[in-house]
A = this chain, B = another copy of it.
Amino acid sequence: MKRRSKPTSFFHRICASLFVLVLTLSIALLFDNCSNRAEGGHASDEVPQAKAGLQEEGHGPITLVLHGGAGTIKKENMSPELEEDYKQEMKKALIAGYTVLEEGGSSVKAVTTTLQLLEASPLFNAGIGAVFTNEGENELDASIMDGATGLAGAVAGVTTVKSPILAAEAVMQHSPHVMMVGKGAEVFAKEQGLEMVDKGYFHTERRFQQLQKIKKAEEEGQKMGYLDRHHPNRKFGTVGAVALDKNGNIAAGTSTGGMTNKKFGRVGDSPIIGAGTYADNMTCGVSATGHGEYFIRSVVAYDIAATMSYKSMSLEDAAHEVIMKKLVEKQGTGGIIALDRKGNIAMPFNTSGMYRGYIQEKDLPKVFIYKE
């Protein structure tokens, strides 16, 4: 008996040690998972998230998501009529883009269709309704990226192209280049047969008055204007859309009039691939809106895709990580809309409001303005 007991007890000890080791490892793994979930535990009821088991192999349903800018947007500063106007314009744009997708159109086409409508609306800071530069001009920027091909196009500082997003699309489709700026971009757009307009086409009285107000405040030494991120009239107006078409292709686009009272020649993140716009079928499509300088320096749009890809995070967790943590730490304000191949949507923003919405079922556009 004694003889047997020794090896058994020795073996027992090894086994017990192994057991403890495995248990510790399991607990550690479990804990790691849990803490990841806790960090990412911000699932909003606002947007559809991956349904377990659904379309694990293929892609999600045709989906369109848009934004109309983020910033200091508060219910107390908004009339019910204006609020309704914003919502109606967003719904109209969502339905128009969704119709393209429903008829079998590409995600690129859905994005340009949606953004053309938002550019044509004086409510949003893009196209008509663009804000004024310090010099009293409207300088427009836009970009688009096709997640299926990896191709991209962008224009910056254009003043006479009716639809900047169409100009960006033309650069992508009909030039060997990605980005064209200023006069060169305008000559190219004209050569491509795009509709050109007088500079006055983009002017709206409301934006002109905004410029006067900010300039006056500056003169009064209130340190407002383009340096002040906290000006109550400061909206980071930009419009953007991301679409998933019936072939599972993602495209993203962004169009803007820039910042009120910006120095002329300033280019924000909207026409910068990787910062304001990014799309890749393998990860996601992203369009950003916010204080562009912070978005450029943090390469925000691509960072969400890289976080998904390299850290195996879900779209929602990656978007949350980049916008609600990393960008907040750097005091960068704004938000993004994003969409992955499964049709999952993320729309995080760290400002008081962001005009945003999505459509995933016919005639059922969902739109939001404030934090829900």
A binding-site residues for B, Cβ under 8 Å: 4, 8, 11-12, 14-15, 18-19, 21-22, 25, 145, 150-152, 156-157, 175-188, 226-227, 262-268, 272-275, 278, 292-293, 296-299, 302-303, 306-307, 310-311, 330
A156 vs chain B, min Cβ distance (A): 6
Show 22 residue pairs from A and B whose CB-CB distance is below 8 angstroms, ordered by the A residue. A14-B15, A14-B19, A18-B18, A22-B22, A156-B181, A157-B181, A175-B263, A176-B226, A179-B266, A179-B272, A182-B265, A183-B264, A184-B263, A184-B266, A185-B265, A187-B264, A187-B265, A188-B265, A274-B274, A274-B275, A299-B299, A302-B306
Oligomer: number of copies: 2
Within the assembled complex, what's the spacing in Å between the Cα atoms of A266 and B306? 27
Within the assembled complex, what's the spacing in Å between the Cα atoms of A293 and B274? 13
Within the assembled complex, what's the spacing in Å between the Cα atoms of A274 and B263? 23
Neighbouring B residues of A298 by C-beta, 8 Å: 150
Choice from B4, B22, B183 contacting A21 with Cβ under 8 Å? B22
Neighbouring B residues of A12 by C-beta, 8 Å: 11, 15
Neighbouring B residues of A262 by C-beta, 8 Å: 177
Knowing that A188-B265, A302-B303 touch, tell me 10 more A-B residue pairs with CB under 8 angstroms. Answer: A157-B182, A177-B267, A178-B296, A178-B297, A180-B265, A184-B264, A184-B266, A187-B264, A274-B299, A307-B310
